[in-house]
Amino acid sequence: MKAAVLAAALLAAATLAAQSVDPALLIKPLAGEWPTYSGDYSGKRYSALTQINQKNVKQLSLAWTRRLVNGPGPGGPQPPGATPIIVGGEGTLVAAGPTQVKGAILQVGGILYVTTPDNTWALDAHDGREIWHYSWKTRGGTHIGNRGVGMWRDYLYFVTPDNYLISLEAKTGKERWHKELASFQQQYFHTIAPMVIDNHVLVGSGNDLDTPGFLQSFDPETGELQWKWYATPQQAGDPGLETWKNLDAAIHGGGHPWVPGSYDPETRLYIIGTGNPTPAYTSAARGYGDNLFTCALVAIHVDTGKMAWYYQTSPHDTHDWDSAQTPILVDGVFGGRARKLVLTAARNGYFFVVDRVTGQHLLTSKFSESANWATGLNDKGQPVRNPAKDHHVGGALVSAANQGAANWPPPSFSPDTGLFYVPTADTYAMYYLTDPDPRGALGLGGKDERPVGTAGSYLTAIDYKTGKVAWRRKYRTHLATGLATGLLTTAGRLLFAGDVSGNFVAYDPANGTPLWHTQLGQVTSNAPETYMVDGKQHVIVAANDTLYAFALY
């Protein structure tokens, strides 16, 4: 017995000693580990692992499960062998509500790092055993979700709903420092997974009121602010100010970049999507220009915080259609020559291809068959808003509904098929104007939305060279939002996704044919990932408060 205990202790010590991320690892193709939000900087969510493939995926079996529970636990001395619980925080409140995993799970050195609002766990990737649990006592705020941790060398970084960036020791969960990100009094909140690039920890803001969105860079050692980029003009002479009614409107204009972007190491550009303008629905207070740089792809130099280029996917948005979806970087042939590309499927129902070096627009197509809010495309390839689909006292029938044709669940791209994959919702809602006075319609106010139906929820595959839908697989069940989980593709020629019926499914990425599935319940809160541990490939996915890991046996 003593020998077994000693062996287990030595194994645990060896595993913990392996926890470290070399920044150079993040620019290599995704394989055995999952060291950042999308697995690597490209955003493809494509793994080179092939142990699980089309020939053997039917043999995929449950390896382990782990249910997570928020909060600091009972307090006081812990019994021998109990999971170490580390408590921090500037507040006094323990987050209430159900535990839901709504972000990326990192796997480095055989350890999984998982988050929910105010909580971070380290788990053994072999069996899901809890190694440590960090819990933050909050001041309050919007606890809608947390998209995961970032990692740099031996340190972890995550954000809280009451606007703190926290750094932990990866081995122990011990807090190194925490820094305030934004004013809690202005009702900012943070959900984003920090993106760590060289010596920069990049964090985007969140808010639903009339405050400016911004992206900040912090020193990974000290937490000191390096630079801050605002998504809307903040002073006279700033670029884009002419697209707003006045400076005051721009200062309160929103544009929060609340989902992680992707990074091009050759140009050192961080490419990220920005959120909707505010007021979100009643736009008189912000004027009738494009409202730059909201609902756009922007390329930011990681060393300076200066914007290199932008491309706006929804000029003068009036439906809260953030363009904050994670973009995908692809090196491929386009128009007969090799190009460095950015691909994104926006919440407004349109798919875009842009040159990632210059920001030049290359292609726009509609991936949501029901999208009805635009009259066509302008000479920049941007959808042209139809004012009749804005909010009116008598109502307007609009597709997509508020959640969008796509949302934050991440897309994927397979270089094997050349296809871009995105969960899609063809939903409809009636939009009514309830407060024509812009002074009473700050943030998300001034309208009423009534969902009226859906034309279905789909898994959609798009040919990036043409913009045409290669195939669409309709889910059997319809939810009010129609949203499904994010996606994963692998070199084993598999596409993993959760559907809106609660199934976890492996598809053939070439045609959408299901190859394997299991029923887990609600699999709409997290995107699947894959990793290797002790020579065995695992596929992991979360369903609300529980992690499920699968492998071949």
Give the integer Cα–Cα distance in Å for 497 and 523. 9
Cross-strand pairs, 114: 121
Residues 6+ apart with CB under 8 A from 118: 70, 89, 94, 95, 135, 136, 137, 138, 143, 146, 160, 161
The radius of gyration of the chain's CA atoms, rounded to the nearest angstrom, is 23
Read off the pLDDT of residues 260-296 as tens digits, 9 standing for 90 and up: 999 999 999 999 999 999 999 988 889 999 999 999 9
- Cβ(261)–Cβ(41) under 8 Å? no
Q: What is the mean pLDDT of residues 475-503?
A: 85
Q: What is the mean pLDDT of residues 289-310?
A: 98
The H or E element that residue 450 is part of is strand 447-463
Nearest to 319 by CA among 423, 246, 242, 396: 396
Give the integer Cα–Cα distance in Å for 150 and 35. 8
DSSP for residue 552 = E
- Cβ(105)–Cβ(547) under 8 Å? yes
Nearest to 252 by CA among 237, 228, 234, 274: 234
Across 164-168, 186-190, 290-294, 492-496, least confident range? 186-190
Where do the structural domains in the chain lie, given as residue ranges?
2-552
Burial of 3 (0-12, 13-18, 19+ CB in 10 A): exposed
Nearest to 101 by CA among 413, 549, 495: 549
Q: Using a CB cutoff of 8 Å and minimum separation of 24, what contacts does 499-507 make?
A: 499/457, 499/459, 499/475, 499/523, 500/457, 500/475, 500/524, 501/475, 501/476, 501/477, 502/543, 504/528, 504/541, 504/543, 504/548, 506/57, 506/60, 507/459, 507/473
Q: What is the mean pLDDT of residues 156-185?
A: 97
pLDDT at 210: 87
Across 361-365, 391-395, 523-527, least confident range? 523-527
Q: What is the mean pLDDT of residues 228-234?
A: 98
Read off the pLDDT of residues 90-112 as tens digits, 9 standing for 90 and up: 998 876 667 899 999 999 999 99
Give the integer Cα–Cα distance in Å for 95 and 406. 28
pLDDT at 79: 67
Nearest to 338 by CA among 317, 362, 315: 362
Read off the pLDDT of residues 453-488 as tens digits, 9 standing for 90 and up: 889 999 999 999 999 999 999 998 765 555 678 999
Q: Is the pLDDT of residue 333 over 60?
A: yes
pLDDT at 10: 37
pLDDT at 76: 53
pLDDT at 5: 37
pLDDT at 378: 98
Nearest to 163 by CA among 91, 73, 261, 270: 91
Nearest to 344 by CA among 121, 122, 113, 42: 42
Q: What is the mean pLDDT of residues 312-319?
A: 96
Mean pLDDT score of the chain, rounded to an integer? 92
End-to-end Cα separation, the chain, in angstroms: 28
Residues 6+ apart with CB under 8 A from 404: 321, 322, 346, 347, 348, 349, 425
Beta strands in 322-395 (DSSP E): 328-334, 337-345, 350-355, 361-366, 374-377, 383-385
Nearest to 138 by CA among 113, 114, 117: 117
Strand-strand pairing, 383-385 and 46-47: unpaired
Nearest to 21 by CA among 175, 142, 197, 188: 197
Q: What is the mean pLDDT of residues 10-26?
A: 59
Residues 119, 125, 129, CA angle at the centre, nearest 5°? 65
C-alpha dihedral, 487 to 310 to 207 to 151, nearest 10°: 50
Read off the pLDDT of residues 201-229 as tens digits, 9 standing for 90 and up: 999 999 988 899 999 999 999 999 999 99
Read off the pLDDT of residues 393-432 as tens digits, 9 standing for 90 and up: 999 999 999 899 999 999 999 999 999 999 999 999 999 9
Share of the chain above pLDDT 90, in %: 80
Give the integer Cα–Cα distance in Å for 480 and 373. 19
Give the integer Cα–Cα distance in Å for 158 and 150. 7
- Cβ(132)–Cβ(83) under 8 Å? yes
Adjacency order of strands within the sheet including 328-334: 328-334, 337-345, 350-355, 361-366
Maximum pairwise Cα distance, the chain: 77
Q: Is the pLDDT of residue 6 over 70?
A: no
Residues 6+ apart with CB under 8 A from 469: 367, 460, 461, 462, 463
Read off the pLDDT of residues 362-383 as tens digits, 9 standing for 90 and up: 999 999 999 999 999 999 999 9
The H or E element that residue 8 is part of is helix 2-17
16 — pLDDT class (breaks 50, 70, 90)? very low
C-alpha dihedral, 539 to 541 to 546 to 552, nearest 10°: -20
CATH 2.140.10.10 fits 2-552, yes or no: yes
Tokens read off for 259:
């989902």
Give the integer Cα–Cα distance in Å for 293 and 282. 18
Share of the chain above pLDDT 70, in %: 93
- Cβ(273)–Cβ(261) under 8 Å? yes
Q: What is the mean pLDDT of residues 523-527?
A: 79
pLDDT at 476: 84
